[in-house]
Amino acid sequence: MNEDPVAAPPTGVTLVGDIGGTNARFALWRDERPQAVQVLACADYARPEQAVLDYLQRTGVPVSAVSAVCLACAGPVGAADFRFTNNHWTINRQAFCAELGLRHLLLVNDFTTMAWAASRLGPEHLVQVRPGIAQPDRARLIIGPGTGLGVGALLPLEAGRWAVLPCEGGHVDLPVTSERDFLLWQALRERHGHVSAERVLCGSGLQTLYELSCALDGTPPRATRAEDVGALALAGDAQADAVLEHFFHWLARVAGNAVLTLGALGGVYVTGGIVPRFLERFQRSGFAEAFAARGKTSGAYLAEVPVWVMTAEHPGLYGAGIALEQALARHA
C-alpha cells in the first residue's frame, strides 16, 4: 500500500519503521511526518534487512542515500540482538548497519513510539471515549491490543518536554473480578499455564475468548478468526457481541490498573489494531464505567481520568520519527 509518495532527497534520507508481529510499516521521515508509507508482511521476508531493501527499491530511494533509521519493534529493546516477540525476525545492530551502510540506527519499543506520537497528535487524530480532566503535569498511559498487548507511558519534564517510559505491561497477570472472569481464567490457565493480560487482549486472545465463551455457554462457535468474531458482533450475533463487550471490559480493568500504578492522571490513549477498528462499538461499550468501577479509594482516583482512542493512521511511524529527531538532536 502506497501513501503520499515523495521524491527522495539525494542524501541524508531518514527512514522510519513500525514492525509488529504481522506487518512492517515503513516510511520516509520528512517535514516532521511520515511520507511514502508502505505496509509489508513480515512473513514474506526472512530478515528485516530484506524488507527494508525491498521498501527502498519500491520507493526508488538508493540505499546509499539513507543515513539514519529508527525502527519501532514489538518487544523489549536492550543492548543485545533484538528478537521480535511475535515474529521470526532478529536484528543484530552491527550487521544491520553494515548491510545498509547506516551511520545511525535507533531501535525502540513499539509502544515507546506510540507514546511519542501521543505527545504531539492533535484533536483531529483523537476520539474521546471517556470524559475527564487531564492533569498536564502527570504521566499519560498508552495502551493498545493488536497482535499483542502494548503498554507505554509518557512522562512530563520541564519546559514542555517529555520522556518516554517503555515497559512490558501487557504481560501483567489478567485481573479476575467476577465469576465469569474466574471461569474463563480457569479455562485459560488449563490451556496456557500462566494467564497474562495479553492472553486475552490481542487478536488471537479475542478468538480464544470467543471459543472459551462458546464452550461455557454450550453455543456452537461460528467464527474461527478474530476478525470473524468482530464481524459477527457488528452484524448482531449475541454471542460474539457479548465476547467483544467482555474484551472491552477486561481492557478497561487492565488500563485502570496501569493508571493506578503509574499515576497516569494525564489521561489514557488507546491504540493498536483492534479498538480503532470497532470504534463505534467501543464507544457504546461499558469500558468507561468498568475503568473506574472498583474500590472506594481507587475508583475516586480514576473518576476524572479521560480516555481517547488514537485514530491517526500510522501513529507508530509518527512516533518513530519523533524518537529519531530526539536521538539525532542529542548527538548533534
| 72 touches 19 (CB < 8 A) | yes
DSSP for 175-228, written as a single string = P--SHHHHHHHHHHHHHHSS-BGGGTSSHHHHHHHHHHHHHHHT-----SSHHH
Is 295 annotated to bind a ligand? Reply is: no
Is 21 annotated to bind a ligand? Reply is: yes
For residue 273, give every residue at least 6 positions away whose Cβ sits within 8 Å of its Cβ, in sequence order, or none. 20, 144, 145, 146, 147, 203
Is 256 annotated to bind a ligand? Reply is: no
Is 17 annotated to bind a ligand? Reply is: yes
Is 147 annotated to bind a ligand? Reply is: no
| Distance of alpha carbon 290 from alpha carbon 288, whole angstroms | 6
Which residue, chain included where needed, has cell 505496509?
Answer: 39
**Helix%, strand%, coil% for the chain, nearest 5:** 45, 25, 30
Which residue, chain included where needed, has cell 461499558?
Answer: 286
DSSP state of 3: B
| Distance of alpha carbon 308 from alpha carbon 62, whole angstroms | 39
Is 150 annotated to bind a ligand? Reply is: no
DSSP for 266-311, written as a single string = T-EEE-SSSGGGGHHHHHHSSHHHHHH-S-HHHHHHHTT--EEEE-
Q: Which residues are annotated as a binding site?
A: 17-22
Q: Which residues are annotated as a binding site for ATP?
A: 17-22
